Structure 1
Amino acid sequence: METSKPHVGLLPLPGMGHLIPYLGLGKLFATHHNFKITIFLVSIDHSSQTESKTIISEMSNELCNIVQLPPVDITSLVDPNATIGVRLPVTMREIVPAFRSSIATIMPCPTVLITDIFGTDAFSVADEFDMLKYVFVSLHAWFLALTIYTPILDKEVKGEYVHQKEPLKIPGCASVRVEDLFDPLLDWTNQQYDEYMRAGIRLRMSDGVLVNSWEELQPKTFAALRDDKLLGCVLKSPVYPVGPVVTQSDDSSKSGLLFDWLNKQPNDSVVYVSFGSGATLSHEQMTELAFGLELSKQRFVWVVRAPTEKSGDKAYLKGRSGDENHDQFGYLPKGFMSRIQNVGFVISDWVSQVDILSHPSIGAFISHCGWNSTLESILNGVPIIAFPLFAEQKMNATMLTEEFGMAVRLEVLPSNKVVGREEIQNKVRKIMVDKEGHGIRDRVNELKYSAEKALCKGGSSYRALSELAKSFEARMQLQNE
């Protein structure tokens, strides 16, 4: 008689950027270990629900059971202008009753619950149904280190972080410069600071932490997270580097006008420009970017979204592609579209980013440095021009340039100031034309090889996932005895 396999329940945050790595993780457990996978979808608004359905329809979900949890109304709990740093954790707390009701109807019940740092309130449901409790940090080890150490910094650092003259020190890890801190840490009086602090404390209640990175990429940070004399005494739970977990390219989807155009371009000759599924630029910044691309005299593909007056976390999920007006490019400089018709391709519809990055014509990526985009860039050997906008992206940009050596960074932070056309022109040419760009391209190809090796059978991430799988199977065996 064949032994039954563990059932893993995944509870990601709302939004495409959070859902993609969870789908990838579920597929790894399903294909490598034949586990049953259920993904519980949470919506923060109608658009995020539509977005989730879009990405699921684009990706084969035959290996995963998808459960859409009923939406929750948080309007009475948060300010109408609350940032995503408040809306997400409040939504995840309020979804717990619906999650419990859903779990109660599933037979057999999941053996394991894996959720995000803001989803740990669902641990109460896991305890009730005798499930293992894990957190999947879909970002990197440095972010995890800062998250678990923030409650200690809160006690040690006198005064607001933004007023500190020295970087914030994390035992055994790179320090975090004040200018690289993300919004939840910038104002102690804001609710999102309390939410982030709470996440750092509750994360320690898990049976283990999965990280969307790999051992060889961040060896010093992973060592600190395991060392009882450093961060290990804070976290206490085992850490599993299982990345890079990303969407795989589907060659069958590489059709249409965009890919017809890309197919005609020389290898490594096109700059891809995109700022993720939720970010937007101001009208002034969009104008400078357009002129900067034009002045660089390099081929480019630009995924544009309607501009917004807000910036940073306040703009997240506020502007999207597929705007109601059909004059999608009316906000670009006058005459821009006609002037660049032979060298540029501008689109506003949703497009598979990994399919673009995997195309041989792509030679650089102007990116907001979201972690999904960064991993996709590494796996396709594409260097980055760092354009961080919100969340942990400033930390990411610093790490990509100073530690990994796979990116160039702008002289000013786009989240603080408009980046001028001359600087955009210079940075594009630095990667695409100047000699320095060759060294950066070599470095990202080294990281690509390292990532591929980690995922292969016998590699560090493959072994970490196998170790996890054995612990899940051991729990199920105990339950069946």
Structure 2
Amino acid sequence: MEIMHRPHVALLSSPGLGHLIPTIELGKLLVLRHGFKVTILAITSQTSEAESRILKSAISSINFCDFLELPPADLSGLLENEAAIVERLCVVMRETKGAVRSVLSNMAHPPSVLIVDIFGSECLSIAEEFRMLKYVYVASNAWFFSLTLYSPILDKQVQGQFVDQKEPFEIPGCSPLRPEDVVDPMLDRNTRQYQEYIGIGMGVRKGDGILVNTWEELQRKDLESLRDENLLGGLLKVPVYAIGPLVREPEPPSSSTIGLLGWLDQQPSESVVYVSFGSGGTLSHEQTIEVAWGLELSRLRFMWVVRPPNRGRADSAFFSTGDGSREDDDPSNYLPEGFKERTRKMGRLIPQWAAQASILRHPSVGGFMSHCGWSSSLESITNGVPMVCWPLYAEQRMNATLLAEELRVGVRPKVLPAKKVVGREEIASMLREIMEGKPNPIRERARELRESAAKAMERDGLSRTALDHVANLCCARAAECETHEHQSVLTSPSVSHVSSNLLSQRTQR
């Protein structure tokens, strides 16, 4: 039966699995829990096998949700080949804005709500034109969002490079941020990437509300600041809803996954370390060698998602995750001589990409050596798995500090991996710290947060209540959009004419 005033919600995702997966999970909730019609606009990299795999799986398993894959615009002449990720993402989203507008305006049943991630904030103006309710979905945590929101103020306050400062940066109502933990765009303020990031800090204020993939008990202090008009709420001026943790469910097992899970079935409970540096992270050749030796020295069972070493940048696989076309995909080409043979009984090597959600949920997995991307961090927390925090790029240094020092669910190297190669002895020591000892305080804390996360998502949990409130607002806007006045705006000749022209331009391109 058709729901009265059934909202149609469009979700816009920028390229990258760290953006796409949380968007899909939010779309699932809006459909399954609230009965909404949902259309996901996924702007893809078109070079990532893992991204394509996730999309195909989502499309086949969620046949009640519409997926529109929008290829990124032609950026030739707009970006240098070595453009940084944030710069590239911002330009991609800006140049695809016309295609997004065309798709939305040509839908038979136009959306009444638009939800964008932080890189899509420029598309909020499209929602304003069509009188849509508009939200910014922060797929990361509230402390990171607080920094992003406050970055235009810090831009005026701080003289010189952020990384050269001697004292932590004060963010109203939040934990101070050490200079070495700033997000990538703040590493050099004389770049286009930095200017794009400051623009994001201004753009996110234009939504009607902010949805954050966290929960109240996990980040109460940061969330309270974002709502307090005497603190960060004075900058934001719109409601902030903690709706997480939104994490992906395990995919139906493939033939390769069945083999890995079968190996895990044979291992003792909480005895295996899972090692993965995310969908886009890679290590240098020297650091890859040290991680291998660290695993071997620890004498722990392990499952390691290995990638060929990078040639200069830790984020070099961001737009090509799971690309199996490289000649050096055989780990023997870059791991210590004899490593595979010596560790054959204690470990498993997985080239390029793995079904992480299934692996972390397995009872044999007792630790996670992670790059600290927020999606991976949530998957670890919600399964009660402690972490070795190994940040590589983006906001991962902030995440690692949050996880190790404030939430106390992980340990981290004495010196950031980005600054020096972490030695095998320290790696082995960190692995043993999270895996050994009964009771283990880090493991106990991880279990506490697992229960906290589950409670937030229960029927009367705070995260579920927050999303229910947003859903009610969406229903109210859907009712308004059924009026003749709104329909006349969407079908006016001027809108139709411009939309047709934009769609034609995109087709020609």
* TM-score using structure 2 length: 0.91
Shift of 1:330: 1.8
Shift of 1:480: 1.8
Q: Please say if 1:279 is aligned against 2:281.
A: yes
Query: Is the Cα contact below 8 Å between 2:408 and 2:442 reproduced in 1?
Result: yes
Shift of 1:147: 0.5
In structure 1, the partner of 2:351 is 348
Q: Please say if 1:405 is aligned against 2:431.
A: no
Distance 1:348 1:278 in 2: 13
Shift of 1:6: 0.3
Distance 2:398 2:442 in 1: 19
In structure 1, the partner of 2:393 is 390
Query: Is the Cα contact below 8 Å between 2:243 and 2:463 reproduced in 1?
Result: yes
When structure 1 is superposed on structure 2, of 156-165 and 445-454 the one drifting more is: 156-165
Residues 52-94 of structure 1 show CA distances to partners (whole Å, capped at 9, x for unaligned) of 3310223322231001124311121111111111100000000
Shift of 1:2: 4.5
SS at match of 1:167: coil
Q: Please say if 1:182 is aligned against 2:178.
A: no
When structure 1 is superposed on structure 2, of 328-337 and 452-461 the one drifting more is: 328-337
In structure 2, the partner of 1:466 is 468
Pairing 1:251-290 to 2, within 5 Å after superposition: 255-290=257-292
Query: Is the Cα contact below 8 Å between 1:358 and 1:380 reproduced in 2?
Result: yes
In structure 1, the partner of 2:498 is none
Query: Is the Cα contact below 8 Å between 2:366 and 2:435 reproduced in 1?
Result: yes
In structure 2, the partner of 1:55 is 54
Distance 1:287 1:351 in 2: 21
Q: Please say if 1:295 is aligned against 2:294.
A: no
SS at match of 1:240: strand
Distance change >3 Å, CA 248–CA 314, structure 1 → 2: closer
Distance 2:426 2:29 in 1: 41
SS at match of 2:241: strand
In structure 2, the partner of 1:84 is 85
In structure 1, the partner of 2:123 is 122
Shift of 1:394: 0.6
Q: Please say if 1:228 is aligned against 2:233.
A: no
Letter in 2 for 1:86: E
Unaligned runs of 5+ in 2: 484-509
Query: Is the Cα contact below 8 Å between 1:10 and 1:26 reproduced in 2?
Result: yes
Pairing 1:168-179 to 2, within 5 Å after superposition: 168-179=169-180
Pairing 1:447-462 to 2, within 5 Å after superposition: 447-462=449-464
* TM-score using structure 1 length: 0.96
Distance 1:51 1:409 in 2: 28
Q: Please say if 1:192 is aligned against 2:177.
A: no
Distance 1:252 1:314 in 2: 28
Shift of 1:252: 5.3
In structure 1, the partner of 2:164 is 163
Letter in 1 for 2:473: S
Query: Is the Cα contact below 8 Å between 1:83 and 1:314 reproduced in 2?
Result: no
Distance 1:242 1:327 in 2: 41
Query: Is the Cα contact below 8 Å between 1:308 and 1:319 reproduced in 2?
Result: no
In structure 2, the partner of 1:444 is 446
Residues 431-464 of structure 1 show CA distances to partners (whole Å, capped at 9, x for unaligned) of 11245x7111110100000000001101000000
Pairing 1:298-377 to 2, within 5 Å after superposition: 298-313=300-315, 316-317=318-319, 320=322, 322-325=324-327, 327-377=330-380
Residues 314-353 of structure 1 show CA distances to partners (whole Å, capped at 9, x for unaligned) of 5644674524326343211110000001101111153210
When structure 1 is superposed on structure 2, of 68-77 and 454-463 the one drifting more is: 68-77
In structure 1, the partner of 2:382 is 379
Residues 146-178 of structure 1 show CA distances to partners (whole Å, capped at 9, x for unaligned) of 011010111122222122111010010001100
Query: Is the Cα contact below 8 Å between 1:7 and 1:109 reproduced in 2?
Result: yes
Query: Is the Cα contact below 8 Å between 1:117 and 1:135 reproduced in 2?
Result: yes
Distance 1:319 1:53 in 2: 10
Query: Is the Cα contact below 8 Å between 2:275 and 2:370 reproduced in 1?
Result: yes
Distance change >3 Å, CA 98–CA 2, structure 1 → 2: closer
Distance change >3 Å, CA 80–CA 251, structure 1 → 2: closer
Distance 1:78 1:2 in 2: 46
When structure 1 is superposed on structure 2, of 317-326 and 453-462 the one drifting more is: 317-326
Query: Is the Cα contact below 8 Å between 1:5 and 1:34 reproduced in 2?
Result: yes
Distance change >3 Å, CA 374–CA 70, structure 1 → 2: closer
In structure 2, the partner of 1:214 is 215
SS at match of 1:118: helix
SS at match of 2:94: helix
Shift of 1:4: 3.5
Query: Is the Cα contact below 8 Å between 2:5 and 2:475 reproduced in 1?
Result: no
With a CA cutoff of 8 Å and minimum separation of 6, indicate the structure with the bigger relative contact order.
Answer: 2
Letter in 1 for 2:111: P
Distance 2:40 2:96 in 1: 14
Query: Is the Cα contact below 8 Å between 1:285 and 1:419 reproduced in 2?
Result: yes
When structure 1 is superposed on structure 2, of 251-260 and 216-225 the one drifting more is: 251-260
SS at match of 1:173: coil
Letter in 1 for 2:381: I
Distance 1:311 1:71 in 2: 23
Query: Is the Cα contact below 8 Å between 1:12 and 1:42 reproduced in 2?
Result: yes
Distance 2:11 2:137 in 1: 9
SS at match of 1:329: helix
Distance 2:3 2:428 in 1: 61
Shift of 1:123: 1.6
Unaligned runs of 5+ in 1: none
When structure 1 is superposed on structure 2, of 127-136 and 199-208 the one drifting more is: 127-136
When structure 1 is superposed on structure 2, of 234-243 and 97-106 the one drifting more is: 97-106
Query: Is the Cα contact below 8 Å between 1:368 and 1:393 reproduced in 2?
Result: yes
Pairing 1:95-110 to 2, within 5 Å after superposition: 95-110=96-111
Query: Is the Cα contact below 8 Å between 1:142 and 1:221 reproduced in 2?
Result: yes
Distance change >3 Å, CA 193–CA 276, structure 1 → 2: same
Residues 267-298 of structure 1 show CA distances to partners (whole Å, capped at 9, x for unaligned) of 00000000111111111110000011001000
In structure 2, the partner of 1:424 is 427
Distance change >3 Å, CA 372–CA 319, structure 1 → 2: closer
Runs of 4+ that moved beyond 4 A: 250-255, 318-321
Distance 1:434 1:177 in 2: 31
Letter in 2 for 1:52: E
